[in-house]
Amino acid sequence: MPQYTILRFEKHKGNPARPLEAHHERQKEKYASNPDIDMAKSKYNFHIVKPEGRYYHFIQSRIEQAGCRTRKDSTRFVDTLITASPEFFKGKTREQTEAFFQRAADFLIQRVGRENIVSAVVHMDEKTPHLHLTFVPLTEDNRLCAKEILGNRASLSKWQDDFHAHMVKAFPDLERGESASKTGRKHIPTRLFKQAVSLSKQAAAIEKALDGIGPLNAGKKKEEALALLKKWFPQMEDFSGQLKKYKVTINDLLEENRKLEARAKASEKGKLKDTMERAKLESDLHNIQRLLDRVPPEVLEQVRREQRGPAHNKEL
């Protein structure tokens, strides 16, 4: 089975460093939102670059030292995820795994500068080992410019080419995946999969409330469904807007899911389990759309009206 290297960037504007720090540095006692984390294994996590203090303070300090002016939409830091296909890590010793991530980190350190790295921590307590390397996107002439460092889609493809070339020298079994510029795919953030699951569960509760509406309890049940919709609908609109950016990727995933289900019937279900779990997005999206089709138009309009607020309603 092919084994791929994975390098992904996520730009962060404003100052949302605290939640990221809490996750990366395992500063919570529980992670209810991420059941994949096994806290019993967190003691095996390790740093390649230890943070010198709070993420925010380091980021702010580097920006001030460089004398950079910032705007509200300035990218202040970048979170980099580095990993490989799960099959790559099977049978690897601790030393071999550490060597993989050290080499990967060296690639980033050379590109973005050791002095700009906030933290580089390897998580061994999830399904697949992975490295989170967070850095401040400062250019050599001390400008805060993630666009120049990361570039456009073509530049990002070059990043992937260079990263693979760097890693394959030490790990020759690794392959270069097909370029996103050719497939049209975008990486779907894990948070969107989690949002889909959460919204799907809420949708099931709303459907249950709608199913319970009858001649004798229409008022009470309608209020119950309305209360649930008020919480659900704004999240759903935001989620739908984000999904538009990943239309090509989602369509590909759904097509893969159909092929995988056919192959699973031929006794390959165990081997394809991880991919099929990700393709489960189809079911969650179907449940959400089914609920949207069921909600009476006047109820949706009432939710929208209340979301806009009293000032807007007076204008109408």
Span 225-273, pLDDT tens digits:
677 777 766 666 665 665 555 555 555 555 555 555 555 555 444 444 4
Predicted confidence at residue 182, as pLDDT, reads: 47
Asked whether residue 123 carries a pLDDT value surpassing 80, the answer given is: yes
Range with lowest mean pLDDT among 55-64, 70-79, 184-193: 184-193
Whether the per-residue pLDDT at 32 is higher than 60: the answer is no
| pLDDT value, residue 270 | 47
Q: Nearest-CA neighbor of 68 among 109, 116, 9?
A: 116
pLDDT for 153 equals 74
Let me know: does 135 contact 80? Beta carbons within 8 Å: yes
* Whole-number Å distance between alpha carbons of 198 and 196: 6
Of 126, 185, 120, nearest in space to 153 by CA: 185
Cα 55 to Cα 18: distance, rounded to the nearest angstrom? 7
Out of 20-29, 53-62, 253-262, least confident range: 253-262
Q: Is the pLDDT of residue 85 over 60?
A: yes
Contact 228, 206 (CB under 8 A): yes
Which has more pLDDT, 74 or 262?
A: 74
Higher-confidence residue of 301 and 187: namely: 301
CA 24 – CA 27 distance, rounded (Å): 8
Residues of 27-56 as b/e, b for ≥16 C-beta within 10 angstroms?
eeeebeeeeebeeeeeeebbebbebeeebb
More confident residue, 104 or 215: 104
Q: Which positions ≥6 away from 223 have C-beta within 8 Å?
A: none
101-110, 122-131, 237-246, 265-274: range with lowest mean pLDDT: 265-274
Mark out the alpha helices in 32-74 (DSSP H runs): 55-65
* CA-CA-CA-CA torsion sign (112, 115, 119, 121): positive
Distance CA 316, CA 303 (A): 16
Residue 119 pLDDT class (50, 70, 90 cuts): very high
Mean of the per-residue pLDDT values for the chain?
Answer: 75
The beta strands (E) that lie in the chain are given as 3-13, 46-49, 75-84, 117-123, 130-135, 174-175
pTM, two decimals, is: 0.59
Q: pLDDT-based confidence at 314, cuts 50/70/90?
A: very low
Mean pLDDT of 75-90: 91
> How many Å apart are CA 107 and CA 171, to the nearest integer?
14
If one compares 196 and 182, the residue with the highest pLDDT of the two is 196
Q: What sign results for the dihedral spanned by CA atoms 104, 77, 135, 141? A: positive
Dihedral class, residue 309 (left if φ above 0, else alpha if ψ from -120 to 50, else beta): left
